[in-house]
Chains A and B, each alone.
Chain A
Amino acid sequence: MNDQNKDSLENFFKKGAQNYDIEFREGDWKKMEALLDSEMPVAFSFYAFLKKIWPLVALLLVIPLGWYSIDRFSGGSATQLGAAYQNDIMETSPTTTYDRILEPQNTRDQLSESQTQAGQEIISRNPGNSSLDKIATVATSAKMVKSKNVIQGNAQTEAIEESYESGGFTMTESNEQKTINSESYANSVPGMLIPLFPGSTVGSLEDPGLIEPKPVVENPGNARYRVSFTVGAGFSPDFSTVGLGNFVSPGVRWNFMAEVGVSRRFLINTGVIWVKNKYEAYGEDYHAPPRYWKKGIAADEAYGECVMLDIPLNLRYNILISGRHQFFISGGASTYILLKEDYYFEYGVDDPELPQHWGTDKVSVYPFKIVNLSVGYQYQLGRKGALQVEPFIKIPTAGVGWGEVDLHTLGVYFMYKYRIGR
């Protein structure tokens, strides 16, 4: 017996043993399951149950809260008047009478006080009658003004909310109506008498001796938006996946952002997001460079861990602005800068000669290869601060990383934002 024959025998059996073609038998699993049931019975876990249904729970919480907010704040509650939490700032035309009438400091104090009181006044414009062009309407917060000319929905309310800003009381404009706090307004104008009777209106006052307000706005079209600047920081879990659904343990995203409000509704934001993500890819989804795999055997699975910077450029649109609440959608593109990549491979065959790991610290850049989509909710904490929750998805338009994987990412940003300047 020579060595060649010995080797042939060994090689034959070694190779032959790997060419198995065994079909799964359900019966064998049933036996396994019976063993598991006897030795490792499954206990009900409330945590596991909650973890499975958390998206539904979150949705059920968000929807009623959203509706509650819309109902409460856009339904005409003028008590928000004077609240100093809008980050959108409207600046009235210099020709607007109120700018000249109201003394900023006084107004602020009075406004604050008046918030706790019932009286409020709504001044409407009636373009069809020059003498009654400006009508002051007094109502109580308990009794919402029902006149068609007084409150007609969000647009007016939002305008009201925007009317106050530090340093002065600024009337805002909608096309048809102006709303101010009656007491503030009255007190701020020496000699001006504004009736504070609940439900009464200046325009309909029986006593013609009461004041007729001076023209409110001479040129409503001059209202313009003052650009706002906001910075923020936050984090998000990072659920990266190749082929939606193959999530591994979450990574993390630390987000440092800057935002420019170019109008009440539109904002542009960018920033730097430090990301550590983890994902798995099946062999067919993982495109290692040609000739990398030894013996022509590609990995069945690749497990990746990457550190990178995400540089987003997004446009945000505020769908709803209501009091302290803003609901928005956002979209844009991201540039990924990969700082570190590590991949571990699994094979269908057990061969120690096959590569088990590949890694690099070499930086690679993927400019604007990722589409960002998100929805969000922002809650104003004060005049400048705000909290924001923003679920997002990132959709690749090209392969990312050494394995050129189509890396989708899901997550939710929790952020604190702070408006810079006025």
Chain B
Amino acid sequence: MLRNLIKGCIKNDRKSQRDLYQYFYAYSLSICLRYSDSRDEAVEVLNEAFMKIFKNLKKFDLSKPFTPWLRKILINSCINNFKRKKIELVSDLYEEQVSSSAEDILSHISYNEILELIRKLSPGYRTVFNLFVIEGYKHEEIAAMLNISVGTSKSNLAKAKKNMRIILKEYFLEDYERSKQG
């Protein structure tokens, strides 16, 4: 059980560490994949996050839920990875407006396709997009995490969404043409 695993991890028991890692592997990697350019990079960030977790488990209050604590560390690791790559949050190549209804076209996309779409965003936009849309952080929090202004955060999110719509349009256009040829 989870608390037993945590206690084993605190004692540096390898089996407990492996079990905890395996238990949260899918959940954790799903977060890291959204912020990374590739699976290898995501696993690297994941392992870095788990190393922090194993080292800091003593500080974890066992009476509180573990998952939010884990998630916070994972996201911080993703952001640190992003900062290491020194990506500028300024570039924007897309200005085109997209008016199609997202709800209409997005209903049958798999998780991997979503991941593929998100990865098409530039790293800076992708990070803000992930933090705001999927993780649910506010712009103030994002600004603090990424050391940017609130305005930049808002601006990057708006641009990320615009770009995402373009990406979606292209994606479905390709898909449509493929199906016509087929």
Contact = CB atoms under 8 A, between A and B. Distances in A.
A358 B76 CA distance: 30
A301 B1 contact: yes
B67 A347 contact: yes
Nearest to B104: A8
Contacts of A12: 102-103, 106, 109
Contacts of A348: 27
Interface stretch (B3-11, B78-86, B140-148, B173-181): B3-11
Given A13-B133, A35-B47, A40 B12 contact: yes
A20 B18 contact: no
Given A16-B114, A356-B65, A22 B29 contact: yes
A354 to B, nearest CB: 10
Given A12-B103, A32-B21, A280 B1 contact: yes
A18 B136 CA distance: 13
Interface string B51-82: 10011000000011111100100000000000
Contact of A32 (B3, B7, B50, B161): B50
A356 B109 CA distance: 31
B65 A16 contact: no
A43 B102 CA distance: 55
Interface residues of B, number: 53
B159 interface: no
Nearest to A280: B1
B102 A248 contact: no
Contact of B2 (A4, A10, A39, A280): A280
A17 B134 contact: yes
Contact of A36 (B54, B109, B110, B111): B54
Interface stretch (A23-31, A214-222, A360-368, A414-422): A23-31
A16 B1 contact: no
Nearest to B44: A31
Contacts of B134: 13-14, 17
A5 B168 CA distance: 13
Interface in A1-58: 1, 4-6, 8-10, 12-14, 16-24, 28-29, 31-33, 35-36, 39-40, 42-43, 45, 48
Contact of B67 (A21, A23, A48, A346): A346
Contacts of A31: 43, 47
Contacts of A303: 2-3
Nearest to A48: B11
A280 B63 CA distance: 12
A280 B46 contact: no
A12 B164 CA distance: 12
Interface string A322-351: 000000000000000000000011111010
Interface string A163-199: 0000000000000000000000000000000000000
A334 to B, nearest CB: 24
Interface in A388-411: none
Nearest to A32: B47
Contact of B21 (A29, A39, A248): A29
B34 interface: yes
Interface in B1-46: 1-4, 7, 11-14, 17-18, 21-22, 25-27, 29-30, 33-34, 43, 46
B2 A20 contact: no
A346 B2 contact: yes
Given A36-B54, A301-B1, A344-B63, A24 B164 contact: no
Contact of B25 (A14, A17, A28, A33): A28
A205 B156 CA distance: 116
B47 A301 contact: no
Given A22-B29, A42-B14, A247 B54 contact: no
A20 B68 contact: no
A387 to B, nearest CB: 32
Interface centre among A28, A29, A282, by most chain B C-beta atoms within 10 angstroms, is A28
A344 B43 CA distance: 30
Nearest to B168: A9
Nearest to B113: A16
A105 B4 CA distance: 61
A114 to B, nearest CB: 58
A246 interface: yes
A348 B70 CA distance: 12
A45 B55 CA distance: 18
A249 interface: yes
B44 to A, nearest CB: 8
A9 B4 contact: no
Contact of A39 (B14, B51, B109): B51
A4 B101 CA distance: 9
Interface of B: 1-4, 7, 11-14, 17-18, 21-22, 25-27, 29-30, 33-34, 43, 46-47, 50-51, 54-55, 63-68, 71, 97-99, 101-103, 106, 109-111, 114, 118, 129, 133-134, 136, 161, 164-165
12 contacts: A5-B99, A17-B30, A22-B33, A28-B46, A35-B51, A36-B17, A48-B11, A280-B2, A301-B2, A344-B65, A346-B67, A347-B67
Given A1-B97, A36-B51, 19 more contacts: A4-B103, A9-B161, A12-B102, A16-B106, A16-B114, A17-B134, A20-B111, A22-B25, A22-B29, A33-B18, A40-B55, A48-B13, A248-B1, A282-B1, A303-B3, A344-B63, A344-B64, A348-B27, A350-B67
